[in-house]
Amino acid sequence: MATTLPSGSSQGPSEGSAAVADTPILDAEGIRRALTRIAHEILERNQGPEKVILVGLRRRGVPLAGRLAALIQQFEGVDVPVGQLDITMYRDDLGLRGTQPEMHPTSMPHDVTERSVVLVDDVLYTGRTIRAALDAVLDYGRPRQIQLAVLVDRGHRELPIRPDYIGKNVPTARHEEIAVRLEETDGRDEVVLVRREERIEQDGREGDER
């Protein structure tokens, strides 16, 4: 998950000169439709909103979880609890980096026991963030199920993790980047594919999701 990088920026093409070209993946309408479908799928899969808790992963999973909750409220008239999770302390690369990554607040508004926890993130890449998130959620109790919703699945998993709800599958090369920008964090809604050659090495080192 790109959003756990300490920089917290979108790392869009404007920041580096090495960007060759951006390919649009989803525009604002596309994001809205994908989330609408995912909201319906979550309701279908869990037989309604009663047992569902949405948990957004810092940073861009948080607004996405909020939007899904708003859609579910629109469809069913029920407010599902929305939490936010910062997985920093569960990372598997702590101590391998120079300084410790910055931490952000976590909030879990509801007991997870016997509930279906839906983790929400922007991009699914190596799966390491999700592994950390699974550990974090299990520290709060024993959910009946943990499901995963992502806006973009870009492949290259390094762990046996698969999403339950996918906005869009985007086959990528490792040196490419998926930049998800959201109104709440970046001022506009869009998903673009960024090609950036010198990212290859960095990706391996950070083991982070892009």
List of residues 6+ apart from 36 with CB closer than 8 A: 71
Segment contacting other proteins by CB under 8 A, of 16-24, 71-79, 100-108, 172-180: 100-108
What whole-number distance in Å separates Cα of residue 198 and Cα of residue 201?
7
What whole-number distance in Å separates Cα of residue 177 and Cα of residue 179?
6
Find out whether 59 and 8 touch, Cβ atoms under 8 Å.
yes
List of residues 6+ apart from 119 with CB closer than 8 A: 55, 57, 61, 85, 130, 133, 134, 137, 146, 147, 148, 149
Binding to other proteins by CB under 8 A, coded x per residue (else -) over 24-63, reads ----------------------------------------
Q: Which is nearer to other proteins, 86 or 209 (CB)?
A: 86
Residue 106's nearest CA partner among 122, 127, 90 is 90
Segment contacting other proteins by CB under 8 A, of 32-40, 106-114, 153-161, 187-195: 106-114
Task: Pick one of 29, 77, 99, 187: the residue that binds other proteins (CB under 8 A).
Answer: 99
User: CB 85 → other proteins: shortest distance, Å?
Assistant: 11
Under rule CB under 8 A, residue 202 binds other proteins = no
Q: ω before 67 within 30° of 0 (cis)?
A: no
Residue with tokens 């709440």: 184
User: CB 177 → other proteins: shortest distance, Å?
Assistant: 25
Task: Pick one of 14, 44, 105, 187: the residue that binds other proteins (CB under 8 A).
Answer: 105
Under rule CB under 8 A, residue 102 binds other proteins = yes
Structure tokens at 32: 């809205």
User: CB 102 → other proteins: shortest distance, Å?
Assistant: 8
Under rule CB under 8 A, residue 100 binds other proteins = yes
List of residues 6+ apart from 209 with CB closer than 8 A: 1, 2, 123, 124, 125, 126, 127, 128, 129
Segment contacting other proteins by CB under 8 A, of 39-47, 62-70, 82-90, 201-209: 82-90
Under rule CB under 8 A, residue 169 binds other proteins = no
Under rule CB under 8 A, residue 89 binds other proteins = yes
Q: Which residues bind other proteins (CB under 8 A)?
A: 86, 88-91, 94-108, 135, 139-141
